[in-house]
Structure 1
Amino acid sequence: MGPIEPYVALMQTLGLEVKVMKYGGFTHDQYLTNLNDSILMIGFVTDESQGLAWAEAWSSDVPTFIWRNNSNVYQNRKYSCSTAPYLSNETGLYFDTIIDFEIAMNDFLSGKYLFTPREWVLENMSDEVCAKQLFCHMTEIC
């Protein structure tokens, strides 16, 4: 049994249909189709540089629950990392263990969380917002 199977089993016991997508095993169109059919995306990665898959989920108004990992090892060197560098209260949450995940899932399904991922993307990641930030950094005219 791999690391995600207990999480899949838990979601299925909650009555949810689960689609597992492994990195490199799907096309962009398949990813978008699955996002369109989803109420939530769960992410398991050891680290993430930019979080583009998460951002694409948020732009589709799909919040994310991301497994938290704060360090990784590359070529025998330990380094600090993030599994979701742009995750916010509006876009989703982190979980550390299956117990945290179960609590978060029950809270999510009961309506406790009011995520607004698409709104957050439009306010923080749109081309216009990013261009204004770049202009500000380059010219110091904000």
Structure 2
Amino acid sequence: MPDKPLNIFYAEPDPDRWIRFDRYPRRFIRRVVRGKQRPGGVMTVALNLMRGLDKMNVPYRFNDYRYLKKHPEEIACIIGKPHLLFERQWNNPVILGAGIYSHPIDRPNLFTEFPNVKRFLVPGEWMREMCAPYYGDKVLAWPTGIDTDIWTTIPGEKTTDFLIYDKVRWERERLEQELIEPLKQTLSNKGLITEYIKYGNYTHDELRDKLSRAKAVLFLCEHETQGLAYQQILATNTPILAWDRGGYWQDPEYYPERVKYQPVSSVPYWDERCGERFTDMNDFEASLNTFLQNIDRFSPRNYVLENLTLEICAKKYLQIAEDVYKELNAR
């Protein structure tokens, strides 16, 4: 463990839009109109790292630019987003990520432009393998932790067979016809009761409410770099039947013209305790039958407790920081 507190940095981009300094009144108006900002995925990465450190009683500083400027020998832990690195002058060694940009093609010369960057963190292993031809052994897979105190077994009468969690993002019209509606019809034909929730259109309280009634979740997503939502579901000890199509990374910003990478996964952190997977409608019914036969044998919360708690993931981050300090001191 490093003998110095971590120096953690996170901020959302908030540039002036029309006139100089107009970001400040715009920020105030947004707060009044929309209320308190809900943390997105990248912000959650930073918050959960700090929660994990709190649980371990490990000290850290947050966005203390003044301190770090006076201590150029200490590491800047820039969780995200990339403007923090690109728009500031950093004299410190840097651990960058895991909430940065989607592919090294956006910054192929990162380590030449910013030689003080010592590690580039990504959320999962398939993404690490995708980045490795560009960034070599400086890219590491590091997942943020799941708050297993908040996401825990939810008491309630299990009146729903499946909560369908829909995070299908691309080629929506085609997949509605070829996958989503046929899946629903198959479940209906078997007399299984379902509820539905769509990514981006729910609160955590709403998800927990529906999970309190659900025996299982049908998780639909092309691929995930980490997949916080499905891991939060696993932490409630709700088993998942997951569409894990494999194949190419589908992000239309990159595929197929700029980047073609495979294989990917919609459940990159997973073992047999979590549930079952299927690739398409051809094997869905067989996977569904196997899942239903074994539903009482799954123990997804145990998987999360062994691999993805706040403390476990914070310890992994501390080890990365310690390795960088050892590397620097060896010179």
CA contact (8 A) 1:48 1:82 kept: yes
* 1:39 and 2:222 are equivalent in the alignment: no
SS at 2:291 equivalent: helix
**2:322 match:** 139
Q: Deviations over 1:77-128 (max 9, x none)?
A: 3333321111221112320122422112212222377211001111111112
Cα separation, 2, equivalents of 1:60 and 1:136? 28
Cα separation, 2, equivalents of 1:124 and 1:60? 15
Flag the 1:139–1:83 CA change in 2: closer, same or farther, 3 A.
same
Structure with larger Rg: 2
Flag the 1:133–1:82 CA change in 2: closer, same or farther, 3 A.
same
Cα separation, 1, equivalents of 2:204 and 2:251? 29
**2:261 match:** 79
CA contact (8 A) 2:276 2:291 kept: no
Structure 2 unaligned segments of length 5 or more: list them. 1-175, 324-331
Cα separation, 2, equivalents of 1:103 and 1:115? 17
Task: Tell me how large the CA RMSD over aligned residues is.
Answer: 2.2
TM-score (norm 2): 0.39
Cα separation, 2, equivalents of 1:87 and 1:74? 26
* 1:104 and 2:280 are equivalent in the alignment: no
Q: Deviations over 1:12-55 (max 9, x none)?
A: 22221111222222222111111121111112212212211110
SS at 1:4 equivalent: helix
* Runs (4+) off by over 3 Å: none
Q: What fraction of aligned residue pairs are identical, expressed as a percent?
A: 31
Q: Which letter does structure 1 place at the counterpart of 2:207? A: Y
Cα separation, 2, equivalents of 1:100 and 1:113? 22
CA contact (8 A) 1:48 1:85 kept: yes
SS at 1:21 equivalent: strand
Flag the 1:114–1:99 CA change in 2: closer, same or farther, 3 A.
farther
**2:191 match:** 15
* 1:129 and 2:312 are equivalent in the alignment: yes
Structure 1 unaligned segments of length 5 or more: list them. none
**1:49 match:** 225
Higher relative contact order by CA 8 Å / sep ≥ 6: 1 or 2?
1
TM-score (norm 1): 0.85
Cα separation, 2, equivalents of 1:49 and 1:27? 21
CA contact (8 A) 1:36 1:60 kept: no
SS at 2:261 equivalent: strand
**1:114 match:** 297
